[in-house]
């Protein structure tokens, strides 16, 4: 296979992989972030302490995390077909990708939020802040660098899952590697795809690390002090 032939196949497959991972990432963050925060809030000592709810959520998350992705894909074929109209293609692959990534990301968020300084939480509660204020003003902002790092980790995991999804009709670079690299014994082509995936992962990791450093530096620049200090302009207007 010539380089020109490889390029004709690789660009559409690369775009499919990026779409697959992009949509799955957005859905995972939208659903997994609240779930991770809720796991903290309903735990013992949390603002919404509720042990039965916490145990049920924890059990569901653990069960979903324990399923191998390939089995999860097969188990969700009927649901995927009902939801998007097909069990093949990158659109269909986003369903099991999202379902598999949500519990993984939720646990990472839970760990990040648990690391927030307990003194800050108690300070907000002492000033009369409700649960929504606590989450919006303290828990998520203080845990944001860790959450961004968790998003980076999740995206990289989704890229690996997307390659696996390609072996069962999910499209993308994984499908290309399987059909041409494995079934047609185009070994050189398969290694080109592996190299491209490695480059994509490296770029995402570097971008994520840069974002985490920026957020961490901004936090050290006085974010906690502003959180606990009354806003001077509001006080002046009120007076």
Considering only residues 48 and 154, tell me which one the structure prediction assigns the higher pLDDT: 154
Distances (CA, A) of 39 to 26, 113, 116, 149: 20, 10, 14, 19
Give CA–CA dist 228/23, Å, rounded: 37
Domains and CATH numbers, the chain: 3-229 (1.10.3720.10)
Q: Kindly state the tokens that stand for 173.
A: 């670079």
Q: What pTM value is reported for the model?
A: 0.84
CA torsion 188→190→192→193, rounded to 10°? Answer: 170
Give the pLDDT of residue 230: 42
Considering only residues 227 and 131, tell me which one the structure prediction assigns the higher pLDDT: 131
162-212 pLDDT tens trace: 888 877 777 788 888 888 877 777 788 888 888 999 999 999 999 999 999
Give the pLDDT of residue 72: 86
Which burial class, exposed, middle or buried, applies to 172 when counting CB atoms under 10 A from its CB (0-12, 13-18, 19+)?
A: buried
Residue 229 has pLDDT above 70, yes or no: no
DSSP state of 91: H
Residue 232 has pLDDT above 50, yes or no: no
Picking from 38, 50, 58, 55, the residue whose alpha carbon sits closest to that of residue 135 is 38
Considering only residues 98 and 134, tell me which one the structure prediction assigns the higher pLDDT: 98
Considering only residues 6 and 33, tell me which one the structure prediction assigns the higher pLDDT: 33
């Amino acid at each position: 296979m010539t380089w020109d032939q490889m390029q004709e196949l690789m660009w559409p497959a690369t775009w499919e992989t990026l779409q697959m991972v992009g949509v799955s990432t957005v859905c995972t963050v939208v659903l997994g972030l609240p779930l991770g925060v809720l796991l903290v809030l309903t735990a013992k000592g949390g603002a919404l302490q509720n042990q039965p709810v916490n145990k049920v959520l924890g059990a569901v998350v653990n069960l979903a995390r324990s399923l191998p992705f390939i089995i999860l894909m097969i188990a969700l074929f009927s649901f995927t077909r009902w939801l998007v109209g097909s069990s093949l293609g990158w659109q269909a692959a986003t369903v099991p990708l999202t379902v598999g990534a949500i519990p993984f990301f939720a646990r990472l968020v839970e760990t990040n939020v648990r690391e927030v300084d307990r003194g800050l939480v108690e300070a907000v509660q002492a000033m009369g802040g409700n649960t929504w204020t606590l989450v919006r003003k303290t828990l998520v902002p203080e845990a944001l660098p860790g959450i961004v790092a968790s998003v980076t980790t999740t995206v990289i995991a989704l890229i690996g899952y997307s390659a696996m999804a390609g072996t069962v009709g999910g499209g993308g670079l994984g499908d290309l590697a399987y059909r041409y690299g494995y079934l047609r014994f185009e070994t050189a082509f398969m290694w080109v795809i592996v190299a491209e995936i490695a480059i994509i992962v490296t770029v995402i990791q570097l971008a994520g690390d840069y974002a985490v450093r920026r957020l961490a530096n901004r936090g050290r620049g006085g974010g906690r002090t502003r959180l606990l200090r009354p806003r001077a302009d509001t006080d002046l207007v009120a007076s």
